[in-house]
Amino acid sequence: MSSLPKTLFVHCFIENKEFITIKTSNSTAYKVEVYNLVGQLRKQVSVQEGNGKFTLSLKEFKNGIYLLKFVNDTGTVVKKMILSE
């Protein structure tokens, strides 16, 4: 399996706050974990190999700061996500 990209492009569709589209520079399988700032795992999704684009639902999340953790066999990348009105 190739390595997880160092740069992940995360696009938030702010107009409805119901989902974000995650784009990566490669198409390998990886796991997405969403944590709140207290460290509680709020959501976990496995993404299969594909075109490097994935949509993640945010309907169950309140406004706040969350950490998106992307993991595959070769590494981990963490990105911050801020949800606000």
1 in any annotated domain: no
pLDDT of residue 38: 95
Reduce the secondary structure of 27-77 to three states and give it as a string: CCCEEEEEEECCCCEEEEEEECCCCCEEEEECCCCCCEEEEEEEEECCEEE
pLDDT of residue 16: 62
Residue 27: give the domain boundaries: 8-83
Write out pLDDT tens, residues 8-65: 544 444 446 778 877 776 667 788 899 999 999 999 998 887 777 788 888 889 999 9
- Tokens for 36, please give them: 């709140």
- pTM, whole model, 2 decimals? 0.76
pLDDT of residue 65: 93
CATH, residue 20: 2.60.40.3080
Total structural domains within the chain: 1
47 in any annotated domain: yes
